[in-house]
Structure 1
Amino acid sequence: MDASKDVDVISRETVFQGYFRVDRYRLRHRTFAGGWSRELVREVFERGHAVVVLLYDPERDEVALIEQFRPGAYAAGWHPWLIECVAGIIEAGEHPDDVARRETREEAGADPEAMVHVGDFLLTAGGSSESCRLYCARIDSRAIHGVHGLESEGEDIRTHVVSTAEALAMVRDGRINNAMAVLALQWLVLEKDRVRRELAR
């Protein structure tokens, strides 16, 4: 979609550049009434775009999840070790499919045997440009165990293999509270019969 006719960017400047970047926009946009909004000043967190991979064993109806420390959860006052799906940032020039395979190897020690593209999602569009491409990948859950991650990136990632039913119970009781993991698991429950056919060997 081309929004260039409906959004007037007056200026954009980078106000912070560290591990991530923050840009300040001055803009206005067309309103539903047909005019233009007043000038808005908004900071946008430029985190980059990511892939998320739900690792699923259709033969055993099990999922492989990862657990790692998250500074954002700590800053929010939540328990900072979150149970999540495999995920990673898409670097310039990379194809999301390749990132999904690489991150599955790095974070779970496995190679996806097949992948289904589930969809593309915005996480916090009110203040960040980040999007996530979600995949469901077939794996052999018997091969997944231990601690993984790149030492050079400070990663310390523990793997968990549970039944789909147990993963959904973890969503219900709050043990899984990462938004993309919740979305992925609820999607799997709704689409499981189709996914098992598509990922069948």
Structure 2
Amino acid sequence: MTEHVTTSPAPAPAPGSRGAPARPAPGTPGIDLPDPRGRTGLDRHGRDLTGNERVRVLDVEVLACDWSVLRRTTFDYRHSDGHWSREQRETYDRGDGATILLYDPHRRTVLLTRQFRLPAYVNGHPDGMLLEAAAGLLDGDDPREAIRREAAEETGRAVHDVEHVFDAFMSPGSVTERLSFFAAPYDASAPGADTAGVAAEGEDIAVVELPFTEALGLVRTGAIADAKTIMLLQWAALDGPFAPPAVSPR
């Protein structure tokens, strides 16, 4: 939902000014004191954006910072008809991530995970146990390095030659995360695991191998309801390892 603070034309800020932000109280975690992850200056993020002349960022407030950061940004926006309005948006910054579809082109199978997802559970999923492609946050690593790490942690499989498929913003109305999508074959003859995950992080992950056609069927029935997994499975069917052979023009 869009929150309109005012719809009157907004005056242009003085040269070199971004408006008069409200000053946080001294000794605020994430601002001038380290937050639980040792970060400071979190209210500076997004203040110096200049790529869109229709947007003037006036203020960035940190509403919460623990593992992720919740910010409220106040900005002036020039609409297509020329009038300005003052807007506020809340953004949830959890960092960028990566996901991967592991597949066996010879046996025509894919390797997925099943784990408990509290947000899905509280929003109507029957048990919160989602079938997903392996994924995780970058945590400062290169996306390729991060997804190799996550594939090993979540499926017990080591992957090397990963293919970058595309990048996507998963929920651009409120979440800043950009997800890098990858795919890679896995060796079904290599030792695997039925369960995986990092116990210290509370992960309890079941490794699930499915025929590719069955996985697509679970998308149709809603049994696979995770967006990144649906996107990767559809890519695999249209352009990836399970795409139909190209038909030569007559």
Query: What is the TM-score normalised by the length of structure 1?
Result: 0.90
Match of 1:99 in 2: 146
Shift of 1:87: 0.3
Question: Compared with structure 1, are the counterparts of its residues 113 and 58 closer, same or farther at alpha carbon in structure 2 (3 Å cutoff)?
Answer: farther
* Larger RCO (CA within 8 A; separation ≥ 6): 1
What does 1:52-201 align with in structure 2 at a 5 Å threshold?
A: 52-79=99-126, 80-92=128-140, 94-143=141-190, 144-193=192-241
Q: In the alignment, does 2:79 pair up with 1:31?
A: yes
Kindly indicate whether the alpha-carbon contact (under 8 Å) linking 2:95 and 2:138 is maintained by their aligned counterparts in 1. Answer: yes
Looking at structure 2, the residues matched to 159 and 48 of structure 1 have their Cα atoms a distance apart, in angstroms, of: 25
Retained in 2: the 8 A contact 1:50–1:130? Answer: yes
Report deviation, 1:110: 0.5
Change over 3 Å in CA distance of 1:179–1:196 after alignment to 2: same
* CA displacement, residues 149-168 of structure 1 (integer Å, 9 cap, x when unaligned): 00110000001111111110
Q: State the Cα distance separating 1:2 from its structure 2 match.
A: 6.1
Q: Identify if the C-alpha distance between structure 1 residues 138 and 195 changes in structure 2 by more than 3 Å, giving closer, same or farther.
A: farther
Q: TM-score, normalised by structure 2?
A: 0.73
Identity percentage of aligned residues:
31
42, 48, 51: which one aligns with 2:89: 42
Q: Deviation digits for residues 128-184 of structure 1, max 9, x if unmatched?
A: 101110001111134444100001100000011111111101111111000110111
Kindly provide the amino acid, as one letter, of the partner of residue 94 in structure 2: R
Q: CA deviation at 1:5?
A: 2.7
Instruction: Tell me how far 1:24 sits from its aligned partner.
Output: 0.5
- Does the residue aligned with 1:10 lie in a helix, a strand or coil? strand
The whole-number CA distance in structure 1 between the counterparts of 2:132 and 2:58 is 39
Higher helix share: 1
The amino acid that maps onto 1:29 is Y
Query: Whole-Å Cα distance in 2 between the matches of residues 17 and 91 of structure 1?
Result: 16
Deviation at 1:31, TM superposition (A): 2.4
How far apart, CA to CA, are the structure 2 residues paired with 1:194 and 1:50?
Answer: 25
Contact 2:74-2:86 within 8 A present in 1 as well = yes
Q: Distance in 1 between matches of 2:199 and 2:244?
A: 35
- Greater fraction of residues in strand: 1
The 1-side partners of 2:78 and 2:213 are apart by 46
Deviations 1:88-147 (A, max 9, x none): 10112x100000100000000001142111100011111110111000111113444410
Segments of structure 2 that go 5 or more residues without pairing to the other structure are: 1-48, 246-250
Contact 2:99 2:135 in 1 (8 A): yes
1:13 CA displacement: 1.3
